């Protein structure tokens, strides 16, 4: 496991402790799976990684909802009908993606324009602001007809 994944996992576990939610074994396992993943995971993918012995799918959905509510995971909708989750880094960093409409290839983007948008929403009196942002297009391989 990379040092960044370890730090992100430790941060998420501590934030969960600080939130007052119990640090159950399923929550630990889900956080570990998300911290080791190279891309966002669907609840089904988390379940496949953890295996049947760890916890059931209903528990995974419930735990992911708890983690999202606590601001520890970022939700992604890639247009394929499956929600995916990714741990938020200790510094609040997270990824957005551009998704190919043809082959579903996902490319992470290195910027997040949301701070300015969230500040504007806050200026209108909104609180508890969060965001999701995914872009869609056609990747270079599919443009060439090889996707």
Nearest to 38 by CA among 8, 58, 68, 79: 8
Cβ–Cβ under 8 Å, residues 87 and 68: no
112 is in an annotated binding site: no
142 is in an annotated binding site: yes
63 is in an annotated binding site: no
Q: Name the β-bridge partners of 97.
A: 108, 134
131 is in an annotated binding site: yes
100 is in an annotated binding site: yes
124 is in an annotated binding site: no
Name 95's Cβ contacts closer than 8 Å, sequence gap at least 6.
40, 74, 86, 108, 109
Distance CA(45)–CA(99), nearest Å, equals 19
* Residue 135, both tokens: 């872009």
- Cβ atoms within 10 Å, residue 109: 13
Distance CA(147)–CA(72), nearest Å, equals 34
> Which residues are known binding-site members for Fe cation?
94, 131
Which residue positions form the known binding site for Zn(2+)?
Answer: 100, 103, 139, 142
Could you tell me which residues are annotated as the binding site? 94, 100, 103, 131, 139, 142
């Amino acid at each position: 496991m990379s040092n960044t994944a370890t730090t992100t996992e430790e941060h998420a576990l501590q934030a969960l402790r600080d939130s007052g939610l119990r640090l159950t074994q399923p929550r630990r396992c889900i956080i570990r799976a998300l911290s080791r993943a190279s891309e966002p995971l669907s609840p089904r993918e988390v379940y496949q990684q953890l295996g049947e012995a760890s916890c059931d799918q209903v528990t995974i959905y419930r735990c992911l909802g708890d983690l999202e509510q606590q601001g520890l995971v970022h939700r992604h909708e890639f247009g394929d009908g499956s929600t995916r989750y990714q741990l938020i880094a200790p510094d609040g960093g997270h990824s957005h993606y551009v998704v190919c409409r043809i082959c579903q290839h996902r490319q992470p983007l290195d910027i997040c324009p949301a701070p300015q948008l969230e500040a504007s929403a806050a200026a209108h009196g909104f609180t508890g602001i969060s965001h999701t942002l995914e872009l869609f297009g056609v990747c270079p391989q599919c443009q060439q007809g090889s996707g």
